[in-house]
């Protein structure tokens, strides 16, 4: 067995056949099985799912074989399944943990190993640290417990899992699907060749609402996009199709369907920092609910303004839903979200769900009788205009330390001519400026990327701040 296995912002990921090998997947599975035994979770079983990437189903089978080698019963997905369904299933079935073979939004050569706890949330840093230690021990000794899949099935240690009926029932309790079906919307859906294909169509069709779906077939190459991430650079065809089809709105889900991207009726991308406050407005004003909001620190200041307006607390966490989801549990939050387009809701699972997020966004349009752009104008009338930009910069892996050192040394009094009011150095470098704008520079937790984020009162100003961040990092 090779390679040091370290979990990043969300799971362990690697290049297929280089880092992401069957040996390494089995080592991760062995480490998790040992942890489940230590924690008294083995008797509750393990949920296992996988995405549409190359060989994902075979990697998932390898996880089941290792679990069976420990006498742990596993529930193995019958087909590629969205991560939200598996997060829901681990809680609904009362399992001890879940593994999802997915690299989410990463480019095609990547795959990954995500771990969810029995609550359906991403495993905490403390749990991951213990599992990493057990994996290292497994790699050192060079062997794992395994039972062939056919034998495990014959012994009752592996059974099929199809959580769709229960998930559809759950979603129907959270949003009025009948009202959405008769609303007369034309919804253009980009499933990005991935796991959410067909879900929104089946949930929404049957009335005057219609669904146009693109990229609905399985294709692990993800043609026409850098990666299956629902952000503006990957949504050109969705934007065009919304305009050509006369769509009311366009929605997109990422590779494992835990993220949402939105395009308005004019074919313009609605940023994730706009979508999250719109969902907060929907819950607080349209549905009249109250509760805390949990946000990662790369999300919009509009959430703080909404919190003040509706009298609810807003808590900030580092980037990663392992922080957001667990904080949601601690404070019984109404909503949790992060800049990447992942949103979670009270009454469901404290984990991202791109499908439910899309349904809630559609319900916002229907219940306010407005288009996406009109909803955004209304939001700005309450909190003022906020515009966001993010740019990702690749770098040779050997330059990571140099970039990090440059950022450590960066302590500017001014950023693009504006005084720096606050400087935060946890999970990256964040500069809050005197005019209320902010800039953040941080490394991706899974790829050799530097991500630069900015929010300001105009799109031009946000772009200028991103360029200032690039110069600070020497990119």
Quick one: how far is CA 454 from the chain centroid?
20
Q: Kindly give, in sequence order, each residue whose CB lies less than 8 Å from that of residue 288, ignoring residues fewer than 6 positions away.
A: none
Show the domain range for 256.
Answer: 183-383
Measured distance CA(103)–CA(1) in Å, rounded: 21
| Model confidence at 135: pLDDT above 90 | yes
Q: In angstroms, what CA-CA distances link 307 with 286, 292, 312, 334?
A: 15, 8, 5, 12
Looking at the fold, whether 348 and 227 belong to one and the same domain comes out as yes
Q: Kindly give, in sequence order, each residue whose CB lies less than 8 Å from that of residue 144, ignoring residues fewer than 6 positions away.
A: 26, 27, 29, 30, 66, 69, 138
pLDDT tens for each residue of 345-394: 999 999 999 999 999 999 999 999 999 999 999 999 999 999 988 888 88
Which two structure tokens, joined as six digits, stand for 383?
């909190």
Q: At what angle do helices 83-92 and 164-174 cross, to 10 degrees?
A: 90
Looking at the fold, whether 34 and 159 belong to one and the same domain comes out as yes
**Which one has a higher pLDDT value, 157 or 415?**
157
| Model confidence at 253: pLDDT above 60 | yes
Q: Is residue 276 part of a domain?
A: yes
End-to-end CA distance of the chain: 35
Please state the pTM of the whole predicted model: 0.91
Q: What is the mean pLDDT of residues 163-176?
A: 97
Output DSSP code: residue 342. Answer: -
Looking at the fold, whether 375 and 391 belong to one and the same domain comes out as no
Neighbours of 442 (CB within 10 A): 22
Looking at the fold, whether 318 and 215 belong to one and the same domain comes out as yes
Which two structure tokens, joined as six digits, stand for 78?
């019958």
pLDDT tens for each residue of 394-403: 888 888 888 8
- The predicted pLDDT at position 15 comes to 95
Q: In angstroms, what CA-CA distances link 306 with 65, 144, 155?
A: 49, 51, 54
Looking at the fold, whether 224 and 82 belong to one and the same domain comes out as no
Looking at the fold, whether 229 and 330 belong to one and the same domain comes out as yes
pLDDT tens for each residue of 265-321: 999 999 999 999 999 999 999 999 999 999 998 899 999 999 999 999 999 998 888
| Model confidence at 3: pLDDT above 80 | no
Looking at the fold, whether 153 and 51 belong to one and the same domain comes out as yes
Looking at the fold, whether 35 and 148 belong to one and the same domain comes out as yes
**Of 345, 363, 383, which one is at a domain's C-terminal end?**
383
Q: Is residue 175 part of a domain?
A: no
Which two structure tokens, joined as six digits, stand for 432?
């809050």
> DSSP letters of 96-148?
SEEEEE--TTS-TTEEEEEEEETTSSBPPHHHHHHHHHHHHHHHHHT------
Q: Is residue 172 part of a domain?
A: no
Looking at the fold, whether 107 and 86 belong to one and the same domain comes out as yes
- The predicted pLDDT at position 142 comes to 81
Which of 1-5, 105-109, 203-207, 421-425 has the lowest average pLDDT?
1-5
The mean of the pLDDT values for the chain is 94
Q: Is residue 177 part of a domain?
A: no
Q: What is the mean pLDDT of residues 192-215?
A: 97
Neighbours of 405 (CB within 10 A): 11
Looking at the fold, whether 319 and 454 belong to one and the same domain comes out as no
What's the number of domains the chain is made of?
3
Looking at the fold, whether 28 and 158 belong to one and the same domain comes out as yes
Q: Is residue 178 part of a domain?
A: no
Give the CA count within 13 Å in the CB-facing half-sphere of 93: 29
Q: Is residue 170 part of a domain?
A: no
Domain CATH for 36: 3.40.120.10
Domain CATH for 466: 3.30.310.50
Looking at the fold, whether 305 and 340 belong to one and the same domain comes out as yes
Q: In angstroms, what CA-CA distances link 96 with 17, 71, 130, 242?
A: 29, 14, 16, 42
């Amino acid at each position: 067995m090779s390679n040091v296995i370290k979990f990043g912002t969300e799971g362990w990921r690697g290049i297929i056949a280089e880092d992401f090998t069957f040996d390494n997947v089995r080592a991760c599975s062995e480490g998790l099985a040992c942890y489940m035994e230590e924690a008294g979770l083995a008797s509750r079983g393990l949920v296992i799912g996988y995405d549409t990437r190359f060989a994902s189903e075979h990697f998932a089978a390898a996880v089941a074989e290792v679990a069976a080698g420990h006498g742990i019963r596993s529930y193995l997905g019958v087909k590629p399944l969205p991560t939200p369904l598996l997060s829901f299933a681990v809680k609904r079935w009362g399992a001890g943990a879940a593994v999802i073979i997915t690299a989410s939004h990463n480019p095609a050569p990547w795959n990954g190993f995500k771990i969810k706890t029995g609550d359906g949330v991403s495993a905490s840093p403390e749990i991951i640290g213990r599992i990493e230690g057990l994996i290292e021990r497994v790699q050192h000794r060079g062997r794992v417990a395994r039972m062939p899949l056919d034998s495990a099935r014959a012994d009752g240690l592996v059974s099929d899992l199809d959580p769709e009926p229960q998930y559809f029932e759950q979603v129907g309790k959270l949003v009025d699907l009948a009202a959405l079906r008769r609303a007369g919307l034309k919804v253009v859906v980009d499933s990005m060749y991935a796991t959410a294909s067909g879900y929104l169509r089946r949930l929404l069709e049957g009335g005057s609402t219609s669904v146009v779906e693109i990229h609905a077939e399985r294709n692990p190459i993800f043609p026409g996009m850098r990666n299956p991430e629902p952000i503006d650079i990957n949504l050109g065809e969705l934007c065009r199709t919304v305009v050509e089809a006369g769509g009311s709105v366009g929605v997109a889900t990422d590779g494992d369907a835990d993220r949402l991207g939105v395009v308005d009726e004019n074919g313009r991308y609605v940023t994730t920092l706009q979508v999250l406050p719109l969902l907060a407005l929907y819950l607080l004003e349209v549905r009249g609910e109250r509760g805390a909001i949990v946000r990662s620190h790369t999300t919009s200041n509009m959430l703080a303004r909404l919190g003040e307006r509706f009298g609810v607390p807003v808590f900030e966490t580092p980037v990663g839903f392992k922080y957001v989801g667990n904080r949601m549990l601690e404070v019984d939050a109404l909503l949790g979200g992060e800049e990447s387009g992942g949103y979670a809701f009270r009454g469901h699972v404290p984990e991202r769900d791109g499908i439910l997020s899309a349904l809630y966004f559609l319900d916002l349009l229907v219940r306010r009788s407005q288009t996406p752009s009109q909803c955004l104008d209304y939001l700005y009338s309450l909190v003022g205009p906020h515009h966001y930009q993010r740019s990702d910069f690749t770098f040779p892996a050997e330059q990571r330390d140099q970039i990090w050192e440059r950022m450590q040394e960066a302590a500017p009094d001014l950023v693009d001519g504006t005084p720096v009011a606050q400087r935060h150095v946890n999970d990256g470098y964040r500069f809050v400026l005197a005019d209320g704008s902010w800039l953040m520079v941080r490394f991706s937790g899974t790829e050799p990327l530097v991500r630069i984020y900015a929010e300001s009162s105009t799109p031009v100003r946000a772009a200028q701040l991103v360029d200032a961040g690039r110069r600070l990092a020497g990119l």
